[in-house]
Each structure stands twice: as C-alpha cells, then as structure tokens.
C-alpha cells in the first residue's frame, strides 16, 4: 500500500509534470491529500473531511451539522437527489458527523469513480438549502436521534462525551433534539455550509483502486472548497469531567442495561498511544472474549458482554469500555474490568503475557482497517492528530516496542480514573 | 469396578484420536494464494466438500460439531482456536449444505504459521475429549442463537420444504435434541472422511509473498475436492409452511434456480437478486417498504452445484399486504427492462458485487466458495474485470434476464410464514406437547 500525504500548495510545481490538470486549476492551499490506495482493491473510494463538526455549531442549533450534510446528499443534481444519482452511476455516498468534522465517503467502480465525484462536486457547488430541503433533512435527523435513543451503547457514549468534551460544542449530540432541530432555518444551513465547507482544515483521503478517476475526483472536489479558514470553534466555560466515581445515569427504552466507562486517552500522535492501544485491546477486547459464551470460534462483537472503543475522533481522545447487560450481569463485567486494571497497575506484565497482548492489539488495529471506508477514515483522523503520513506501520512498530514498564505506567496514568455512564431500561421493561 | 475400568479405558480413548496417516507430503486438492498490497492482514481458509448433515444419513449439525471439535482439540500443539486468537486473529467456522469452511483472519505475519497449523490439524486431526466437549457446548450456544434469528428460522423451514432429498433439506445447526444425538464416534467417522487433504481447498489472501504459504500447504495443486458434489432434489410441489417462532413475524420464499454449470443463467440470477433485493435500491425492498415501513427485506441467489437457490426473506411483517407486494414485484421481473433502466441496474449490480469483495476475508470467501462448488474460474473475484464472471455480467441483456426470470419463477416456490410464538401456557398434568407447525 502506498501511503503519503501532501499539502497541495507545496506540491503544485512537482505535480505539474505528472498531472497537468492540477497545474491548470490550482487546488486550494489548505486541502491535505493522503493516498492509501492499493492496486488489487476492486473499488475506488475517497473520504472527504471538512471542518464542519459539532464543535462549530451554535449551542441552540444542535443537529445543524447533520442537517447540512443530509441536505447536501439530497441536493438535486441533474434533477435527481445526489445519493440516488450516485447510486445510479454505480457508486455510493455516506456521511458521518463527528466532534471536529463532517466526513463524506464516496465509493464506485474504478471506471465510474470520476463521474461519481463529479456529481458530488456539483452538489457542493450548488447545495439545496431551501425550506423544504431543510425541513426534510431535519426530519431525517430527528428519526436518527430517535433510533439512537434506543441504542444503549450510543446513549452511554454520548453521555460520556457530553461531559468529557465539555470545553467545546463537540459535546453536543450528533443528531440534535426536537427543540433545536425545529429552530434550524435555511439561512442557518447556508451560513454553516459557507463558513465550514472550506479548504483550510479539509482532508481528502484516496483509498482502494488507484484509478485515474481518483485524481480527477480529487481535483473536482477541491475546486469547490474555497480557500479560507473555517469559523471558530464554539467554546464554553464548562470544565471537562474526569473525576473518579462520577456516575451519570439515565433511563431509555432499551431491553437491557448498559454500563459505559470513559477514560482519558492519548491521541494517535502522542508517545503513549501504542501502550494505551494495547491496554484498550487487553481490557476491552480480551475481557470481552473471556466473559463470552464458550464458543470455539472467536466471539463476535455481539456475542461479547464487554467491548471497547478507542475514540480517535475526539479531541482529546478517549477510550470507552462498555458492558452489555443483555450478555450477562454488567456489574460482574465492570468488576472484572476493575480487577484486570488493578492487576495491570500493580506489577508489570510478564514478557510472554505482553507478547500475547501486543499480538491481539495488532490484530484488532489491523481489522479496523479491513474496509476501505474505515481505512480512509482512520488515515484522515491520524493525519489530523499528528500521527504522520505512514500512520499504520508507525503504530504497528510502536506496539511492538511497548515494554512491560511502559504498559504499567500507561495503565496507571490513563486507566485509574473514569466516568461511568449507566443506561437503564425504563420501568416496565425487564 | 467394571464401571471404573470402563471409564478409565474411555478416558484413554478420548485423550487423542489420530485420524489420518500423517504423510508429510500431503497437500490440498487446490491451493489458491493471492498476494495483496493493502494493510498487512490475511485471510487463511480451508474448505472441505462435505454435507453438513453427514455422509451416511441425516445427522443434523454433524459437520459443524466435527469442525469445531478439531479446532478445539490439542492436535499438534495449541488448539487452532486458541492459536489463532493468540496471534491476534479471529477464527470462524461455518457449515453449508454441501461444504465446511474454516476461516482465520490474522495479521499477515502469522499467515504461514496459521496455514500450516490449520492444514495439519484438519487433515491429520487428533481429537480430544476436551475438544469434543468444548465444541458441543459451543454448538449449543450457536444453535440457541439461531433459534432467535428470523433469517435462520425462515431458511431452515424453506429449505426443508423446497427439497425432498439431499443435504439442502437440513439446517446446518442442530436443535438441542439433535445435538444430543451426536456422539463422539459420529464425529470421528465424519472427520476422517471429510477432512482429508485431497478433499480440501485452501485459500490464502492478503500475504505479501505466496511461496512460503504454498510451502506450508505442501504444494500448489489445482485439482477438485475428492468427494463428489452433493445432490439435493427439489420437489415440484413444495408445501406452504405456517409456523411460529420466537424470532417474530417473517415471510420467506425460495425458488430452485440454475445450477452452477449454467453460468450465464446463474449470473442472470445474481443480477435479478441485486435488482430485486439490494438493500437500498432493490425494487422488491422498495415495494415492501411502501406497504410496511417496519419490515426488513433480505435474500440472495445462492450459487450451488445443482440447483442454485433464490431466497426472499421479509422479517418484521408477514401480512398478506407484504406477500402481495413480494409476489407482484417478482412478476414484474419476468418482463424485459427498458435499456436505460437495465443499464442503471447493471451498473448497480456490478458495483454492489465489487463493493462486497473489498476485504481479504470476502475475497477468500468468494474464491473458496466457488472452488468447492467446482467452478473456481467462475468466482467473481477471480480474474478481475476480465475474469469469466465479470465478462458474463457485462454480457447480460434485458431479454435474457427476463427469460431466466420466467424460466425459474414459473415453478411453485417454497413459502414459509412465521408468526410470533405465543407465551407458553401453564402446563397441565399429562397434556400433549403443542404442535409446532403445520404444512398446508
């Protein structure tokens, strides 16, 4: 796999020889372009990150970033909503809204990728933010918010984020709520789009089959991003909650209780990152496998009563360990996690045990890159977090170098304090 | 005293039962190794041509229990299941009506070791009592999960109705009672025949160098698995099944389709399956959403030796309105699409196909499935855009697709309707067991 990042502005001169089109139509200065293509991939993909995350929304417009993204993918292009037009061309478009950015993933057969990217660029050039479009997008956001409310893990993680990311509006929920969605106007959407769908802070990650259409697509999309900085992040005076024994409890329409433990964690560019990744794998994944039913095959995520997520996308980064009450007593799971953490902080792991833990962390990290959309998302996130161009091999090398002493130090530093979020079924549900 | 002696003897017998001759020169009937330049992650798979319900008679779940017993036994070192996890990988074991798949997704640096261990453990298996017991507990968990899975419940009943004989008639996973009837001797006999090297297809995708993998597998043969393809006989008048299930309301239809030997027709059925059933764009998906937004539609054309099977599955709603929407949409497929609509559908079909082949695991699954079905060169991932499958896919025409739809949709499908299981009434002394389902 080829991996390299380049800042377009700095490379225009050298690109002029290989790709004259770039020289003729200079791309905006701030767009970072990363290539993680692989020659035997059957499809071509592209992840576009724009700095239009939750943290740039006004507080009373929670859900605005999602409404804008949804309206964009429903923008008519040649009379057909963008997502449908892309499907008809032999591709797909999806999006996700995170704390610091909104990212769109385009994918198509290699021979049709340029066409798909061109359709997307057309929508970027003339997004439909009329009243009907915004109303429809807000209704979609409300549906998604309702769906999320029935998912114990999503609710628990959102509760943790709301206090952990308290310094900025990245703490707001992705899909907003009925009250804030009702206030979003076409003007809000147009302003947010104009301010934040910009080149400075945007990243394009090309992934999969390196068809000629990938380069054409990058050019078409970067041309539509004006060369300016995004609007400022909305900050608050609230302090993030990182205290021991803090518990957040809510009731939702879920079939079983969920417990989510949230930990401070180093970002992908930090020196302790590899040690924290090994710990996350050891505490979340290995405990989950240990408490799973007695399967011969490796238990799937749904079969494990305990799991973990490294929140690479948040600033600061975090790790959550979660226990699903449908898979057994969540308090037993939490006690087991506490025992494992205690063991890890009490004395260094033996070299043999550490070797197993590293192998599992390596496997877990690689499996997160199996799908092209995930691989490109990780590449963009790691670039934003300062992990460098060749993030994957750097992380694998760093995992291999983790020592027992370093692992113990990271366990003490990052896994001794946590915030607990508990999601309980409403009364009347078992 | 006699009892204790017998127990001691049995314990000895269970310690380790070597099944194969142990020749050092064994190799699979076919070995397929694809290198890659993606993340250093490799899929290592073994496929065996063997009926899920056993060779001798219908012993439902036998293949699954045998395959898991080998992976859980201390064969030639650490049990394969533990070894794969220790190397940071994930092991999966699946059985289909006519084949067994053992699949490990591992860091590429461990691919050679896992390929060697898996091949040795299966083709020269040494089963242990602990391994057998572990496998039985594991299959019991999987069987319980399948009971709560509406797709698995529908599929089991549809296949039972569509076929009058052969392994397709039976589910891959047993019920609790069926599992209890499988003993260690059944497992040993099955493993001895099914897991022979000459009955295996090995597939490894994602390594950077093919040579060490081929060496670990003992060579790069290009033969056919030793066992003949399984034969299942479809009935001309499948019964309509009405039953209940803890998995909730569901409706399913199954049609016998073209055999893999008729590759053009099988490709046309794949096209139809995508046109009707693709998650967002399928015409049948949209038709059902129009009458029941809460219903979920799935299904696929399963390419098999003979016959293939087209499955349509609706969960969450099994009402007459849903069934009418399904049946009327299927009828529309019997008329040729206009050229523009066909071009769009063809682009979507090719894209969905390629999208689903982007991971090393999916690529290995694809190559293994078609190889064990006897048509390795027809695998969609084989040969890329110029391969046999993609050439056939590009060559489809509206008239030919409609002709295939008319040919296979003319037969009476198997139809199953499931309703939610009512709460169990309090048991009266001496009452008869409740009838589970009835055929009409």
Three-state helix/strand/coil letters over A149-187? HCCHHHHHHHHHHHHHCCCEHHHCCCCCCHHHHHHCCHH
What CA–CA distance (Å, rounded) separates A321 from A336?
12
B280 vs A108: CB contact, 8 Å cut-off? no
pLDDT at A357: 94
Identical topology for domains B19-216 and B236-420: yes
Provide CB contacts within 8 A for B434, sequence distance 6+: none
> Do A214 and A297 lie in a common domain?
no
A198 shares a domain with A130: yes
Q: Poorest-confidence range of A204-213, A236-245, A345-354, A419-428?
A: A236-245
Does B351 contact A92 at a Cβ distance shorter than 8 Å? yes
Residue B425 confidence (pLDDT) = 63
pLDDT of residue A424: 95
Burial class (CB within 10 angstroms; exposed 0-12, middle 13-18, buried 19+) of A247: exposed
pLDDT, position A55: 96
E strands of B246-399, at which residues?
250-257, 296-302, 308-315
Supply the DSSP string of B188-219, one letter for each residue: HHHHHHHT-GGGEEEEEEEES-SHHHHHHTT-
Partner A contacted by B211 (CB < 8 A):
no
> For helices A64-73 and A131-149, what crossing angle results, to 10°?
120
Give the one of B141, B347, B355 whose C-beta lies nearest to A295's C-beta: B141
Q: Quote the mean pLDDT of chain A.
A: 88
Residues A234/A169, Cβ–Cβ less than 8 Å: yes
Phi, psi of B17 (to 5 degrees): -115, 100
Distance CA A215, CA A118 (A): 11
B394 touches chain A (CB under 8 A): no
CA distance A413 to B404: 65
Over residues A326-354, the mean pLDDT reads: 90
The better pLDDT of the pair A333, A279 is held by A279
Digit-coded pLDDT (tens) for B63-107: 999 999 999 998 778 999 999 999 999 999 999 999 999 999 999
Backbone torsion region of residue B252, taken as left when φ is above 0, otherwise alpha when ψ lies between -120 and 50, otherwise beta: beta
- pLDDT value of position A30: 76
CB < 8 Å to A41, chain B: 38, 358
Residue B394: closest CA among B357, B354, B436, B347: B347
Closest by alpha carbon to A161, among A64, A25, A53, A10? A53
Of A300 and A181, the one with more pLDDT? A181
Contacts of B137 in chain A (CB under 8 A): 294
Q: How close does chain B come to A84, measured CA to CA in Å?
A: 9
Whether residue B384 lies within 8 A of chain A, CB to CB, comes out as yes
Please check the confidence at residue B17 and state whether its pLDDT lies above 80.
no
Buried b (16+ CB within 10 A) or exposed e, B333-345: bbebbeeeebebb
Are A1 and B355 in contact (CB < 8 Å)?
no
Cβ separation of B134 and A360 shorter than 8 Å? no
State whether residue B305 is helix, strand or coil: coil
How many pairs of residues across A and B have Cβ atoms under 8 Å apart? 124
- Strand stretches in B23-159, DSSP E: 30-35, 41-49, 90-96, 99-107, 126-127
Q: Show the domain range for A297.
A: 246-425
Distance CA B2, CA B10 (A): 12
Residue B207: list chain A partners with CB under 8 A: none
Question: How much is the pLDDT for A27?
Answer: 46
Average pLDDT of chain B is: 90
C-alpha–C-alpha distance, residues B95 and B46, integer Å? 12
User: Domain B19-216, what fold?
Assistant: Cytochrome Bc1 Complex; Chain A, domain 1 (3.30.830)
User: Angle between the B339-355 and B263-277 helix axes, to the nearest 10 degrees?
Assistant: 90
Ranges of each domain in chain B: 19-216, 236-420
> Which residue has 């900085």 as its token pair?
A229
Interface membership of A362 toward B (CB under 8 Å): yes
Q: Check CB contact of B381 with chain A, cutoff 8 Å.
A: yes
The reported pTM is 0.91
> Sheet harboring A44-50: ordered strands across?
A4-7, A32-37, A203-208, A44-50, A102-108, A91-97
User: Could you give the percent of chain B with pLDDT greater than 70?
Assistant: 90
Q: pLDDT tens digit string along B136-156?
A: 999 999 999 898 888 888 999
Structure tokens at A238: 């609230």
* Structural domain includes residue A232: no
Please report how the helices B320-332 and B283-291 are oriented relative to each other, as an axis angle in degrees rounded to 10: 150
Torsion of CA B334, B348, B360, B35, to 10 degrees: 100
Which of A297, A361, A375, A395 is the mutation pick for testing B, counting most B CBs within 10 A?
A: A297
Quickly state the pLDDT bin for B338 (edges 50, 70, 90).
very high
pLDDT tens per residue, range A105-125: 999 999 999 999 999 999 999
Give chain A's domain count. 2
CATH number at residue A296: 3.30.830.10
Read off the pLDDT of each residue in B286-300 and give the average, rounded to a whole number. Answer: 95
Each residue of A356-369: pLDDT tens digit? 999 999 999 999 99
User: What part of B 18-57 touches A (C-beta under 8 Å)?
Assistant: 34-41
pLDDT of residue B25: 60
φ/ψ of A76, rounded to 5, equals -65, 130
Same domain, A219 and A305: no
Among chain A residues, CA nearest to B355: A43
From the list A1, A90, A396, the residue facing B348 with the nearest CB is A90
With beta carbons under 8 A apart, name residues in chain B contacting A287.
Answer: none
Cβ contact, residue pair A298, B91, below 8 Å = yes
Nearest to B358 among A41, A108, A294 (CB): A41
A280 touches chain B (CB under 8 A): no
What backbone phi and psi angles, to 5 degrees, belong to A109? -65, 150
Distance separating alpha carbons of residues B130 and B113, to the nearest angstrom: 24
Report the gap between the CA of B420 and the closest CA in chain A (Å).
Answer: 18
Tell me if A235 is assigned to some domain.
no
- Alpha helices of B124-254 — where are they, by DSSP H? 129-147, 150-162, 176-180, 184-194, 211-216
Q: Report residue B26: phi and psi, to 5°.
A: -60, 145
pLDDT surpasses 90 at A9 = no
* % of chain A exceeding 70 in pLDDT: 91
Residues of A in contact with B351 (CB under 8 A): 43, 90-92, 108-109, 112
Give the CA distances from residue A141 to residues A63, A71, B127, B366, B369, in Å, rounded to whole numbers and listed in that order: 7, 10, 54, 37, 41
pLDDT of residue B429: 52
From B391's Cα to the closest Cα of chain A, the distance in A is 15
Same domain, A387 and A278: yes
pLDDT at B285: 97
Under the banding of pLDDT at 50, 70 and 90, the label for residue A427 is confident
Nearest to A370 among B34, B81, B359 (CB): B359
Of B353, B376, B364, nearest in space to B105 by CA: B364
More confident residue, A237 or A104: A104
Q: Do B89 and A371 touch (CB under 8 A)?
A: no
Taking 80 as the threshold, does the pLDDT of residue B242 lie above it? Answer: yes
Chain B contact for A109 (CB, 8 A cutoff): yes
pLDDT in tens, A257-267: 999 999 999 99
CA–CA gap between residue A416 and residue B111 (Å, rounded):
37
**What pLDDT score does B435 carry?**
36
**Shared-domain flag, residues A137 and A46:** yes
Residue A140 and residue A282 in one domain: no
Min Cα distance A228 → chain B (Å) is 34
- pLDDT bucket at B13, cuts 50 / 70 / 90: very low
Query: What is the ipTM for the molecules in this complex?
Result: 0.90
- At B425 the three-state DSSP class reads coil
- Cis-peptide, bond into residue B307, ω within 30° of zero: yes
Comparing B72 with B6, the larger pLDDT belongs to: B72
- Same domain, yes or no: A142 and A106: yes
What digits encode the pLDDT tens for the residues B34-52?
999 999 999 999 999 999 9
pLDDT at A17 over 60: no
- Please, are residues A218 and A253 in contact by the beta-carbon 8 Å criterion? no
CB atoms within 10 A of CB A302: 11
The CATH number assigned to the domain with range B236-420 reads 3.30.830.10
Instruction: Assign B175 to helix, strand or coil.
Output: coil
Q: Using a CB-CB distance cutoff of 8 angstroms, which residues of chain A are in contact with residue B121?
A: none
Provide mean pLDDT across the span B274-291. Answer: 96
Contact A392 B39 (CB under 8 A): yes
- Per-residue 3-state assignment (H helix, E strand, C coil) for chain A: CCCEEEEHHHHHHHHHHHCHHHHHCCCCCCCEEEEEECCCCCCEEEEEEECCCHHHCCHHHCCHHHHHHHHHHCCEECCEEHHHHHHHHCEEEEEEECCCCEEEEEEECHHHHHHHHHHHHHHHHCCCCCHHHHHHHHHHHHHHHHHHHCCHHHHHHHHHHHHHCCCEHHHCCCCCCHHHHHHCCHHHHHHHHHHHCCCCCCEEEEEECCCHHHHHHHHHHHHCCCCCCCCCCCECCCCCCCCCCEEEEEEECCCCCEEEEEEECCCCCCCCHHHHHHHHHHHHHHHHHHHCCCCCCCCCHHHCCEEEEEECCCCCCEEEEEEEHHHCCHHHHHHHHHHHHHHHHHCCCCHHHHHHHHHHHHHHHHHCCCCHHHHHHHHHHHHHCCCCCCHHHHHHHHHHHCCHHHHHHHHHHHCCCCEEEEEEECCCCC
Residues A200 and A330 in one domain: no
Asked if the structure places residue A196 within a domain, the reply is: yes
Of A88-92, B195-199, B244-248, where does mean pLDDT reach its minimum?
Answer: B244-248
pLDDT in tens, B368-382: 999 999 999 999 999
pLDDT confidence of A428, banded at 50, 70, 90? low
User: Looking at the complex, does the CB of residue A33 fall below 8 Å from at least one CB of chain B?
Assistant: no
* Contact (Cβ atoms closer than 8 angstroms) between residue B342 and residue B365: no
- Which candidate, A190, A198, A230, A172, places its Cα nearest to that of A71? A190
Task: Name the residue facing A297 among B92, B107, B355 (closest C-beta).
Answer: B92
Residue A142 resides in a domain: yes
Scanning B88-147 for CB atoms below 8 A from A yields 88-93, 105-107, 110, 134-135, 137-138, 141-142, 145
Give the pLDDT mean for A383-391.
Answer: 80
Please give, rounded to a whole number of angstroms, the shortest distance from the CA of B234 to a CA of chain A. 33
Residues of chain A positioned with their CB less than 8 A from the CB of B141: 293-295
Q: How far is B359 from chain A (nearest CA, A)?
A: 6
Are residues A312 and A218 located together in one domain of the fold?
no
CB atoms within 10 A of CB B235: 15
- Check whether B12 has a pLDDT greater than 50: no
pLDDT digits (tens, 9 = 90+) for A50-85: 999 999 999 899 999 999 999 999 999 999 999 999
**A355 and chain B: CB distance < 8 Å anywhere?**
no
Domain boundary, last residue among A165, A189, A223 = A223
Of residues A214 and B420, which shows the higher confidence score?
Answer: A214
Give mean pLDDT, residues B310-334.
96
CA diameter of chain B: 82
The answer to whether B381 contacts A295, with C-beta atoms less than 8 Å apart, is no
At A11 the pLDDT is 30
Q: Report the distance separating Cα B211 and Cα B219, nearest Å.
A: 9
| Chain B interface disruption, residue of A42, A292, A355, A402, most B CBs within 10 A | A42
Higher pLDDT, A4 or A255: A255
Residue A334: pLDDT band (50, 70, 90) is confident
Does the pLDDT of residue B282 top 70, yes or no?
yes
Distance from CA of B238 to the nearest CA of A (A): 35
Rounded Cα distance between A107 and A80, Å, is 18
pLDDT, tens digit, 9 for 90 and up, residues A218-256: 999 999 999 999 999 999 877 676 656 678 999 999 999
Residues of A in contact with B95 (CB under 8 A): none
* Alpha carbon of A326: minimum distance to chain B alpha carbons (Å): 13
Higher local confidence (pLDDT), B363 or A10:
B363
**Domain stop point among A192, A223, A254:** A223
Say how far apart CA B96 and CA B168 lie, in whole Å.
8
Q: Enumerate the residues of chain B whose CB falls inside 8 A of the CB of residue A375.
A: 38-39
Model pLDDT, residue A305: 87
- Closest among A207, A225, A213, A238 to A374, alpha carbons compared: A207
Quick one: pLDDT at residue B139?
Answer: 97
Query: For A179-197, what is the mean pLDDT?
Result: 97
The alpha-carbon gap from B68 to the nearest alpha carbon of chain A, in Å, equals 6
Residue B14 has pLDDT above 80, yes or no: no
């Amino acid at each position: 796999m080829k991996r390299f990042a380049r800042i377009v502005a700095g490379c225009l001169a050298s690109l002029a020889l290989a790709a004259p089109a770039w020289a003729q139509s200079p791309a905006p200065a701030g767009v970072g372009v990363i290539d993680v293509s692989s020659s035997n991939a059957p499809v071509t993909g592209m992840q576009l990150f724009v700095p239009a995350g939750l943290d740039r929304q006004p507080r009373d417009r929670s859900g605005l970033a999602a409404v804008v993204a949804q309206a964009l993918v429903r923008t008519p292009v040649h009379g057909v909503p963008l997502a449908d037009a892309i499907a008809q061309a032999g591709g797909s478009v999806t999006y996700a809204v995170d704390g610091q950015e909104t990212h769109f993933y385009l994918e198509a057969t290699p021979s049709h990728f340029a066409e798909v990217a061109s359709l997307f660029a057309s929508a970027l050039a003339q997004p439909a933010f009329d009243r009907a479009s915004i109303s429809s997008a807000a209704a979609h956001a409300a549906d998604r918010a309702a769906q999320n409310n029935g998912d114990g893990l999503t609710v628990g993680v959102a509760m943790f984020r709301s206090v952990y990311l308290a310094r900025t509006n990245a703490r707001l929920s992705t899909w907003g709520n009925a009250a804030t969605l009702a206030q979003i106007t076409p003007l809000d959407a147009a302003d947010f789009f104009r301010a934040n769908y910009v080149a400075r802070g945007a990243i394009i990650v090309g992934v999969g089959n390196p068809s000629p259409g990938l380069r054409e697509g990058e050019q078409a999309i970067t041309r539509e991003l004006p060369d300016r900085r995004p609007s400022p992040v909305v900050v608050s005076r609230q302090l993030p909650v990182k205290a021991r024994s803090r518990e957040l409890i809510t009731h939702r329409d879920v079939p079983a209780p969920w417990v989510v433990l949230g930990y401070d964690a180093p970002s992908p560019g930090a020196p302790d990152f590899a040690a924290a990744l090994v710990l996350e794998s050891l505490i979340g994944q290995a405990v989950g496998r240990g408490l799973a039913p007695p399967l011969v095959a490796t238990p799937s995520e749904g079969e494990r009563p305990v799991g973990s997520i490294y929140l690479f996308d948040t600033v600061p980064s975090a790790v959550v360990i979660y226990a699903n009450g449908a898979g057994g007593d969540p308090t037993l799971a939490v006690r087991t996690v506490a025992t494992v953490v205690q063991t890890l902080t009490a004395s260094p792991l033996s070299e043999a045990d550490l070797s197993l833990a590293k192998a599992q962390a390596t496997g877990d990290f690689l499996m997160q890159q199996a799908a092209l959309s995930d691989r490109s998302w990780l590449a963009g996130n790691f670039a934003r977090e300062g992990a460098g161009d060749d993030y994957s091999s750097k992380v694998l090398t760093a995992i291999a170098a983790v020592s027992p002493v370093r692992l113990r130090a990271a366990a003490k530093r990052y896994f001794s304090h946590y915030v607990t979020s508990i999601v309980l079924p409403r009364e009347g549900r078992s | 005293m006699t009892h204790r002696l017998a127990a001691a003897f049995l314990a000895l017998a269970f310690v380790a039962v070597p099944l194969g001759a142990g020749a050092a020169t064994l190799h699979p009937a076919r070995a397929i190794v694809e290198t890659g330049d993606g993340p250093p992650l490799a899929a290592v798979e073994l496929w065996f041509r063997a009926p899920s319900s056993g060779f001798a008679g219908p012993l439902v779940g036998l293949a699954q229990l045998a395959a898991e017993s080998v992976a859980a036994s201390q064969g030639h070192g650490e049990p394969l299941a533990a070894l794969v996890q220790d190397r940071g990988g994930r092991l999966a074991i699946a059985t289909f009506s006519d084949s067994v798949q053992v699949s490990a997704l591992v860091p590429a640096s461990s691919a050679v070791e896992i390929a060697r261990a898996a091949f040795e453990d299966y083709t020269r298996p040494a089963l242990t009592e602990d391994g057998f017991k572990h496998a039985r507990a594991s299959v019991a968990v999987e069987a319980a999960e399948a009971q709560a899975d509406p797709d698995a419940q529908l599929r089991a009943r549809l296949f039972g109705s569509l076929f009058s004989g052969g392994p397709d008639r039976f589910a891959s996973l047993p019920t609790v009672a069926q599992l209890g009837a499988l003993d260690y001797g059944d497992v040993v006999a099955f493993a001895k025949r099914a897991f022979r090297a000459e009955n295996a297809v090995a597939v490894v995708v994602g390594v950077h160098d093919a040579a060490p993998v081929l060496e670990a597998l003992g060579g790069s043969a290009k033969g056919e698995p030793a066992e003949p393809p399984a034969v299942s006989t479809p009935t001309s008048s499948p019964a309509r099944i009405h039953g209940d299930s803890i998995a909730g309301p569901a409706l399913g239809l199954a049609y016998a389709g073209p055999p893999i030997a008729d590759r053009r027709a099988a490709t046309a059925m794949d096209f139809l399956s995508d046109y009707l059933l693709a998650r967002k764009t399928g015409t049948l998906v949209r038709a059902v959403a129009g009458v029941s937004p809460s219903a979920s539609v799935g299904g696929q054309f399963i390419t098999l030796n003979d016959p293939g099977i087209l499955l349509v599955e609706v969960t969450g709603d099994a009402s007459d309105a849903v069934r009418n929407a399904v049946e009327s949409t299927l009828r529309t497929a019997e008329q040729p699409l206009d050229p523009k609509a066909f071009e769009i559908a063809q682009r979507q079909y090719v894209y969905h196909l390629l999208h689903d082949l982007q991971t090393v695991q999916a690529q290995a699954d694809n190559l293994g499935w078609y190889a064990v079905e006897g048509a390795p060169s027809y695998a969609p991932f084989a040969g890329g855009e110029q391969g046999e499958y993609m050439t056939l896919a590009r060559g489809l025409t509206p008239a030919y697709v409609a002709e295939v739809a008319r040919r296979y949709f003319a037969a009476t499908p198997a139809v199953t309707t499931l309703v939610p299981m009512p709460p169990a009434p309090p048991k009266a002394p001496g009452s008869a067991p409740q009838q589970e389902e009835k055929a009409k």
